[in-house]
Amino acid sequence: MQERIQDRLHPSDLSDQSRYSDSSALADEGIGLRKLVLHQEAVLTEAGQAPARPARRASVAAVIRNPWVGSGPGVDLAAEQLRIAPALAKLLTDRLVGALGGVDAVEAFGKAAVVGTAGEIEHAGALIHTPYFGNLVREYLEGKSIICFADTRAEAGETLVVPLWHKTHAATRSHYQTVGARVPDAPRADELVVIAAASTGPRPHPRIGDRLTDPVVTTKTLEVVPS
Amino acid sequence: MNVRKIVTYVEEIRSEGGRPVSPPARVAVVAAIIENPWAGQGFVEDLNPGIDATASDVGALLAPEVLDALQGPAEAYGKAAIVGLDGEVEHGSALIHTLKFGDHFRKAANATTLLPAVEKRGPAGVVFDIPLKHITDATIRSHHQTIEVRIPDAPHPNEIVIALAAAAQGRPQQRLAPLSTEQ
């Protein structure tokens, strides 16, 4: 019999529990929010063996109305970006931290967006590639690294593979990993899905070395390797 | 029971049909990806030893997890068994269609009705829908709903995905007349 998952907080431990019952708050958070989706994985065994450092990976996706649908490429994205991106950064990182057991538990992070078919990929970028989202996600998750990302334009139900790397040491190879994010009925053509993702540790069995252990590899050093 | 991975999926709906949903409607799924207890054994006539070795354990693992993920009492629930390509659908059914599995969830949720279920066989990444019905009266129409799940790398051919789903309420914007009005 497997033990219960070790590091999940009991609901009563969540300081922000009130948000689930506070019906006075705007249901759509003032940003056209339709739904939030949490995907989380805990690997208990991989290749038949328990990881030395078990990690939990999670993504949280927010489905919002695309505020720029119908506007042309000449339109300035700044105003809506300033209004929406910080709210998403707070909402998504709150959920991530709640799911993964606290900000100290988060070791790796990533971000992503899917724009519906009536929007531009630039609309996705406007919400994840500027300081109004990225800097705040980094601050809320207490990281230093630039945040790696994925984005695409797609029909509802597209699965996005969200890349993650270490939140303070991006070159830490053991923490290069991905987590899936998918909302079955989003994005509609006029919607955007914005995603923040994180992991509490490395891949299950990391053993591909690191920059510190790598030999010098150039085309010249490889010439001595028999082919 | 060999568990490879536990996957949690939670949806929180804030608006539907263009109108706010307040409080938000929450549905949670927790899935355990386990090794098929009958993998590699050919056709096994008597499934009972495998059922006894696994069904109660996986039910006990999932029931508290899905209620934790829901973060509130369940009003509707359902279950799933998705068998990898080398197994039989009967293997998945064996693990979920027994009181040894379902009673953990019924007890934890103070529920009384049968758990609606999906059983199917598919490749890793197969999409499946879990039906949910009310936990004490399966005729309560407002609570008939489904949740769609996809786990990118499960089930492997020798695995089974066993899942429980719980909803804190009926459908958002539910407004159908109850069954009794048609009887």
For A202, phi then psi, to 5°, come to -85, -175
Q: Are A192 and A51 in contact (CB under 8 A)?
A: no
Write down the pLDDT at residue A181. Answer: 96
At the second CATH level, the architecture of B3-182 is 2-Layer Sandwich (3.30)
Residue pairs spanning A and B at CB distance below 8 A: 99
Question: DSSP letters along chain B, please?
Answer: --EEEEEEEEEEEEEETTEEEEEEEEEEEEEEEEE-TTTTS---S--HHHHHHHHHHHHHHHHHHHHHHHTS--SEEEEEEEE-TTS-HHHHHHHHSSHHHHHHHHHHHT--SPPPEEEEE--TT-EEEEEEEESS-TT-GGG-EEEEEE-TT---TTEEEEEEEEESSS-TT--PPPGGGG-
Structure confidence by residue, pLDDT tens digits, B35-49:
999 999 999 999 999
Q: How far is B88 from chain A (nearest CA, A)?
A: 22
DSSP class of residue A53 equals S
Structure confidence by residue, pLDDT tens digits, A99-156:
999 999 999 999 999 999 999 999 999 999 999 999 999 999 999 999 999 999 999 9
C-beta neighbour count of B141 within 10 angstroms: 18
Of B37, B164, B30, the C-alpha closest to B91 is: B37
Of B33, B25, B27, B26, the C-alpha closest to B7 is: B33
* Two tokens, residue A202: 């490395």
- Residues on chain B touching A26 (C-beta within 8 angstroms): 20
Tell me whether residue B44 is exposed, middle or buried, using C-beta atoms within 10 angstroms of its C-beta: 0 to 12, 13 to 18, 19 or more: middle
Write down the pLDDT at residue A227. Answer: 56
Indicate the residue of A40, A45, A180 with minimum beta-carbon distance to B152.
A180
Q: Are A144 and A205 in contact (CB under 8 A)?
A: no
Strands A191-199 and A177-182: unpaired
State ipTM.
0.93
Chain B, nearest residue to A6 by Cα: B65
Write down the pLDDT at residue B59. Answer: 98
- At residue A226 the predicted structure's pLDDT band, cuts being 50, 70 and 90, is low
Q: How far is A63 from chain B (nearest CA, A)?
A: 10
Write down the pLDDT at residue B183. Answer: 82
Query: In this structure, which topology does domain A25-222 adopt according to CATH?
Result: 60s Ribosomal Protein L30; Chain: A; (3.30.1330)
Radius of gyration of chain B (CA): 17
User: Taking CB atoms and an 8 Å limit, are B65 and A5 in contact across chains?
Assistant: yes
Strands B127-134 and B3-16: unpaired
- Residues on chain B touching A20 (C-beta within 8 angstroms): 23-24, 26, 71-72
Helix axes B89-96, B48-70, angle to 10 degrees: 70
Question: Rounded to whole angstroms, how far apart are CA atoms B82 and A154?
Answer: 27
Average pLDDT, chain B: 97
Write down the pLDDT at residue A16. Answer: 43
Strands B127-134 and A177-182: unpaired
Of A99, A87, A75, the C-alpha closest to A33 is: A87
Contact A37/B at CB under 8 A: yes
Domain range list for chain B: 3-182
* Two tokens, residue B153: 């790398």
Place of tokens 């990806």: B33
Residue B131 CA, chain-centre distance (Å), reads 8
Q: Are A122 and A164 in contact (CB under 8 A)?
A: no
Write down the pLDDT at residue A10. Answer: 41
Q: How far is B160 from chain A (nearest CA, A)?
A: 15
Strands A191-199 and A108-115: antiparallel
**Overall size of chain B counted in residues:** 183
Indicate the residue of B21, B23, B125 with minimum beta-carbon distance to A21.
B23
Q: How far is B183 from chain A (nearest CA, A)?
A: 34
User: Taking CB atoms and an 8 Å limit, are A20 and B24 in contact across chains?
Assistant: yes
User: Taking CB atoms and an 8 Å limit, are B13 and A34 in contact across chains?
Assistant: yes
Question: Rounded to whole angstroms, how far apart are CA atoms A107 and A166?
Answer: 6
Domain range list for chain A: 25-222
Contact A195/B at CB under 8 A: no
Which of A41, A43, A63 should we substitute to test contact with B (largest number of B Cβ atoms within 10 Å)?
Answer: A41
Write down the pLDDT at residue A26. Answer: 85
Contact B4/A at CB under 8 A: yes
* B 154-173 → A contacts, CB under 8 A: none
Residue-wise burial string across A175-200, b where 16 or more C-beta atoms lie within 10 A, e elsewhere: bbbbbbbbbeebbbebbbbbbbbbbb
Indicate whether B85 pLDDT > 70: yes
User: CB within 8 A of B32, min separation 6: which ones?
Assistant: B3, B5, B6, B58, B61, B62, B161, B162, B163
Q: How far is A52 from chain B (nearest CA, A)?
A: 14
State the average pLDDT over residues B159-174.
Answer: 97
* Two tokens, residue A7: 């590091």
Question: DSSP letters along A191-212, please?
Answer: EEEEEEEEESS--SS--S--TT
Question: Rounded to whole angstroms, how far apart are CA atoms A55 and A66?
Answer: 34
Contact B16/A at CB under 8 A: yes
User: Taking CB atoms and an 8 Å limit, are A39 and B21 in contact across chains?
Assistant: no
Structure confidence by residue, pLDDT tens digits, A16-74:
444 444 444 688 999 999 999 999 999 999 999 999 999 999 999 999 999 999 999 99
